[in-house]
Amino acid sequence: MVTRRATIVGLGALAAQLVLPSAEATQAPSYRLGEWTGDGFAPMHAIRDGLWRTPLAAPERRVDVVVIGGGIAGLTVAALLRDRDLIVLERESEPGGVAKSGRWRNVDYALGSAYVVDLSQPFMALYETLGLAPRPVSEPVDRALSGAAGAGDPRDGEWRGAYERLQALLRRLGESPDFPKIPIGEATASALALDKLSLQEFLRREHIDAELFGLLDAYCLSALGAPTAEISAYAGVNFLSEINAPIYAFPGGNAAIARTLAARLSRAGESRIVTSAAVYAIEPAEGGYARVGWFDARHPESPAVSRRAGRWSPRPTFSPAAFCAGSILRRRRK
């Protein structure tokens, strides 16, 4: 099983040296590549560009809770509150966020979030409640590739000492009561001090060799969206601690968690998950409510364009086959 760790280690090496494809690599493959998958940014660009600066339509539904975003976090919140009148608004065509999977020859494979490392509470309790059993991944394949013909893993050569010092640092922090825990509310004062440093500043202070920063930058960019100089040492140390941790996985990666949560939520009531719903406004409303406006992410045009195209209704409901906007009221607790 090729883990995300293996992939990112390879990417880190590519940051230092450009690898040119060989003649064999440029030949047409014997298989057909599918379409690219991932987030669709057109709805968010439409909001950014001001196409949806429009008054919210009349409320179509009142609910106790609106969960915006149907990734694992949003689905977990909704599943825990499934006895309430709630709705989940997910921008993409299916819930799961980065935890999605595909299937090839009856084998499920991860398209994004692929494995877990933390089986402590409350995570393990959630897996058990969902009837999921994380499986240990035996002998994960970790390779750093420089691109040079016949070159070995630099962590076994010129990077060996630096990488071992990084592992020792993370091991020491992992065994300390001052480890930067998630949730952050359980952190000690010493751990919270890490939040005032960037990860790169912290690693330099701990005398971790700069030759590893290209590798670590790529690894952090893959999951946290920023290099070591731009993320908190608190978040970065917590993230990098998995270098020393066993890896566990579900068939198809973490999409198994998302699918199980979505199924549990759907069994609790119909129409609880609305996909292709891009939220563009949240406004206070009368009676202690908040009003949430959204549009069909498949048609991110402005209301004026949508009206001309025959897809706009000034009082939208869930019943039309095609719609572009909706608004929901969520009661706020006093």
DSSP letters spanning 9-38: HHHHHHHHS--PPPTTTTSPPSS------S
Which has more confidence, 235 or 142?
A: 235
The CA–CA distances, whole Å, from 27 to 14, 30, 56 equal: 22, 9, 53
On whether the CB atoms of residues 233 and 199 are closer than 8 A, the answer is yes
Of residues 42, 49, 57, 38, the one with CA closest to residue 278: 42
Q: Angle, to 10 degrees, between the axis of helix 233-240 and the axis of helix 213-224? A: 100
Are 265 and 257 contacting, i.e. CB atoms less than 8 angstroms apart?
Answer: no
**195 versus 148: which is more confidently predicted?**
195
Place 121 in a pLDDT band, splitting at 50, 70 and 90.
Answer: confident
Burial (0-12, 13-18, 19+ Cβ within 10 Å), 50: exposed
pLDDT in tens, 39-76: 778 888 988 998 888 777 777 788 888 899 999 999 99
- What pLDDT is recorded for position 288? 78
Backbone CA torsion sign across 30, 34, 35, 38:
negative
Nearest to 178 by CA among 125, 106, 252, 234: 234
Q: Is the pLDDT of residue 178 over 90?
A: yes
Mean pLDDT for 82-91 is 91
Q: Does pLDDT of 91 surpass 50?
A: yes
Q: Please tell me the predicted confidence (pLDDT) of residue 75.
A: 95
pLDDT at 330: 39
Question: Which DSSP category does 289 fall into?
Answer: E
Cβ neighbours, 10 Å, residue 180: 25
Handedness of CA 253, 256, 257, 258 (dihedral sign): positive
Q: For residue 183, is the peptide bond before it cis, meaning its omega torsion is within 30 degrees of 0?
A: yes
pLDDT at residue 295 is higher than 60: yes
Helix (H, G, I), strand (E, B) or coil at 202: helix
Which pair of structure tokens corresponds to residue 105?
Answer: 């020859």
* pLDDT score recorded for residue 57: 74
Place of tokens 């009142």: 62
Residue 175 has pLDDT above 70, yes or no: yes
The CA distance from 327 to 279, in Å, is: 9
Q: What is the mean pLDDT of residues 85-98?
A: 91
**Mean pLDDT in residue range 229-254:** 90
pTM of the model: 0.71
Output 102 or 40, whichever has higher pLDDT.
102
Average pLDDT, the chain: 78
pLDDT surpasses 90 at 12: no
Q: Say whether pLDDT at 310 is over 60.
A: no
Q: State yes or no: pLDDT of 232 exceeds 70.
A: yes
CA angle 16–20–24, rounded 5-degree value: 145
